[in-house]
Amino acid sequence: MGKFIRLKKGFTINLKGKAAPKVVEIEQPETFVIKPTDFQGLYIPKPVVNVGDTVKAGSPLFHDKKHGNVIYTSPVSGEVVEVKRGEKRKLLEIKILADKKIEHVQFKKYSVSEIANLPVADVKGQLLNSGIWPSLIQRPYGVIADPADTPKAIHISAFDSHPLAPDYNILFKGQDQYFQIGVDVLKKLTSGAVHINTHASNEISTVFSQVKNAEVNKFSGQHPVGCVGVQIHHLDPINKGDIVWTINPLGVIQIGKLFANGIYDASRIVALVGSEVKNPQYYKTYTGASVKKFIENNLNNDHVRVISGNPLTGTTIGKEGYVGYFDHQISILPEGDYYEFIGWITPGARKVSFHRSLGLFSFLSPNKERVVDTNTHGEPRAFVQTGVFEQVTPMDVLPTQLIKSILAEDIDEMEALGIYEVIEEDFALCEFVDVSKHKVQEILRDGLELVRNS
Amino acid sequence: MNFLRNQLDKVKHSFEKGGKLEKYYYAYEALDTFLFAPNTTNDSKGVQIRDAIDLKRLMMTVIVAMVPCLLFGIWNVGHQHFLAIGQAGATLGDKILVGAIQVLPIVVVSYGVGLGIEFVFAILRKHPVNEGFLVTGMLIPLVMPPDIPLWQVAVATAFADAARYSIVASRCCYGFCGGNWKGSIWRYRNERSEYCTYGTSIFIFCLSN
């Protein structure tokens, strides 16, 4: 029987431009890209393809120099047209010109009863070779899971509470069978339970509610209730030495299709959202798609920021960019590079603020959808205000002290303050509400790398 | 607004690196950010949107919270003055006028000296002018006795402000005098020939340490 957990702290940002509940299929983008920079914990990516090579969906593109058994594969079939490198020959992306009809590498198929008797080594081997293994993220540190580990649990968040996040009921509709097979496979990898954490008030899709062999828990509250780190903290906190794996429902479905049909199916539904989009809706496409075709003739104005992911944890990719491996949405926001006359005191109900400060009245209408641009609204300063990070972090960690201990590079203090339990997305809201405009997520990642490599 | 913006943009190049007035850049920047909220946007990684609050607005909220206290203090100084001289029938306007004449110079001196030191240190140390003094500049007059000589307000503010940058200065002063403070800086004789201290002076001394 799953748990029901009600969270009091947090702040849900309501932005204009949520996706309409319809899935549209348009002409597919010509190029797709896999970016090694999307994967945290990737030591040095070594490409195994050259420009001009032909690949199929599921063919290896690169692997990690340190963990050679984790293979990163192509989402589509076609020809490799670019292997882009940056400074010091750092591998930035591998671009593939896709075929009209996708061909797949054939992996071994299993029936449901065969999966139940499959040895763990075979399961891991299939996942590693297919390119689905990078979907498994380990806590602590938020890096790609190590195949040598056995986690104490696997957690799946069945909803997303980030601003403008897509509705998982639409993203994964009709995939019940594959989700169940995926959960059965994941159960073999852990010594504990597979947890599926759903939202208490929304209508839960049968994909998640009817699943067997897993614990279904319910959560209610404001963002970041949808963040899997917060859910793990309240169900079964991570102590020093514990390892927990997390995976997105899409990853689970891909595992199900891999074992049932023997193919790596990188197809996904992506939501195009934001106040600057004329028709925000869902599109059928594949992992690593170019955003050009989706935003063509679909923008209200040209001076916009195109973000792969949500506005709190996403990355700016530009109008010619590509959707990240882990992202289910493309957010388009207006750029905020304008001067505002005495903007630091002018009152306004249109500006979004968590604080009830002089002139900011957005707290009076919290459910109203607002347009927010990318202006920093101030300059970086030293820490001045205390207690505000704690109001938006529904976890038993002290975020301000943790960030300060990372800046001081005090590893013992970081461990005592709970650095093992958090990754960037758990602290994204702290970065949003910060008066002193710190780069909290960047500081946290530095701290995590410091502890991981110590 | 456009006129102001254009004027600021015109002179900006002489304050930037390689310009004639390069060392006064942060003074220019303080004026620029006072008149216009900056046009900087968030980085490509991390949050892409931020809360509309910033440190200036936060400090203004604190100042606005202290304004009723200041207004009451101004009225009270006038009220006590007229009580002391035995004139019970003074009007509200009279009381406020007397209070204002006594208190507002302290506010002006506190902000003036404090902001002057902030600008000097910002130029010397090459960092932005911090908004912290907006609140301290209001707090200092609120804790001072109303009849304090203005030069003492100036010295106390200078120590409280400069001590943030130079702990050595305040330590030196303590060292030189050996902790034994004498003379009319720290105490005075009132009409009944009793020794009274300026409690605020002690407070500022403690603050600066």
pLDDT of residue B166: 57
Q: How many CB atoms lie within 10 A of CB A75?
A: 27
What type of residue sits at position A423?
Answer: I
Evaluate if residue A184 carries a pLDDT over 90.
yes
Pairing mode, strands A340-341 and B36-37? antiparallel
Position of tokens 């942060």?
B26
Task: Please tell me if residue B124 touches chain A, with a CB cutoff of 8 Å.
Answer: no
| pLDDT, tens digit, 9 for 90 and up, residues A334-390 | 999 989 888 888 888 789 999 988 888 888 888 999 999 999 999 999 898 999 999
Residues of B in contact with A348 (CB under 8 A): 52
Task: Please tell me if residue B131 touches chain A, with a CB cutoff of 8 Å.
Answer: yes
SS3 state at A439: coil
Helix (H) or strand (E) run with residue B94 in it: helix B92-125
* Residue A385: closest CA among B204, B93, B58, B111: B58
**Cα–Cα distances in Å, from A423 out to A142, A167, A253, A440?**
6, 23, 24, 11
Mean pLDDT of chain A: 94
Contact between A355 and B53 using a beta-carbon 8 Å cutoff = yes
pLDDT tier, A331 (very low <50, low <70, confident <90, very high otherwise): very high
Q: Apex CA A43: angle with CA A405 and CA A408, to 5°?
A: 10
**Cα–Cα distances in Å, from A216 out to A3, A229, B11?**
8, 16, 63
Taking the C-alpha atoms of residue A188 and residue B82, their distance in angstroms, rounded to an integer, is 87
Residues of A in contact with B46 (CB under 8 A): 431, 439-442
pLDDT of residue B177: 42
| pLDDT, tens digit, 9 for 90 and up, residues B18-77 | 888 888 888 888 888 888 988 999 999 999 999 999 999 999 999 999 999 999 999 999
pLDDT of residue B191: 54
Contact B154, B128 (CB under 8 A): no
Range from A91-95, A185-189, A202-206 carrying the lowest mean pLDDT? A202-206
Taking the C-alpha atoms of residue A357 and residue B57, their distance in angstroms, rounded to an integer, is 7
Task: Please tell me if residue B13 touches chain A, with a CB cutoff of 8 Å.
Answer: no
* CB nearest B53 (choices: A305, A357, A431): A357
Residue of A223, A275, A403, A435 to mutate for B, most B C-beta atoms under 10 A: A435
Q: Dig out the tokens for A99 from the structure.
A: 């075929």
Beta strands in A193-302 (DSSP E): 194-199, 215-220, 244-246, 267-273, 281-286
pLDDT of residue B192: 54
* Residue A20: closest CA among A149, A173, A164, A153: A164
Taking the C-alpha atoms of residue A43 and residue A34, their distance in angstroms, rounded to an integer, is 16
pLDDT of residue B187: 46
State how far residue A230 is from chain B, nearest Cα, in angstroms: 19
Residue of A92, A339, A433 to mutate for B, most B C-beta atoms under 10 A: A339
Whether the bond between B141 and the residue before it is cis, its omega within 30 degrees of 0, is no
Instruction: State the distance between the two ends of chain A, measured CA to CA, in whole angstroms.
Output: 40
pLDDT tier, A240 (very low <50, low <70, confident <90, very high otherwise): confident
Taking the C-alpha atoms of residue A305 and residue A331, their distance in angstroms, rounded to an integer, is 8
| pLDDT, tens digit, 9 for 90 and up, residues B126-176 | 888 888 888 999 999 999 999 999 999 999 999 888 777 654 444 444 444
Task: Please tell me if residue B33 touches chain A, with a CB cutoff of 8 Å.
Answer: yes
Cβ neighbors of A286 (< 8 A, separation 6 or more) are A28, A32, A75, A76, A98, A102, A266, A267, A268
Conformational region of residue A190, where left means phi above 0, alpha means psi within -120 to 50, and beta covers everything else? beta
Taking the C-alpha atoms of residue A237 and residue A270, their distance in angstroms, rounded to an integer, is 32
Residues of A in contact with B36 (CB under 8 A): 339-343
Taking the C-alpha atoms of residue A206 and residue A118, their distance in angstroms, rounded to an integer, is 27
Contact A314, A165 (CB under 8 A): no
Which residue of chain B is at minimal alpha-carbon distance from A163? B49
Cα-to-chain-centroid distance, residue A146? 19
Task: Please tell me if residue B7 touches chain A, with a CB cutoff of 8 Å.
Answer: no
Residues of B in contact with A373 (CB under 8 A): 49
Residue of B51, B58, B66, B67 to mutate for A, most A C-beta atoms under 10 A: B51
Contact between B39 and A339 using a beta-carbon 8 Å cutoff = yes
Evaluate if residue B199 carries a pLDDT over 60.
no
Q: How many CB atoms lie within 10 A of CB A192?
A: 14
Whether the bond between A224 and the residue before it is cis, its omega within 30 degrees of 0, is yes
SS3 state at B144: coil
Beta strands in A119-266 (DSSP E): 137-139, 143-144, 153-157, 194-199, 215-220, 244-246
pTM of the complete model: 0.89
Position of tokens 């969906």?
A57
pLDDT of residue B27: 87
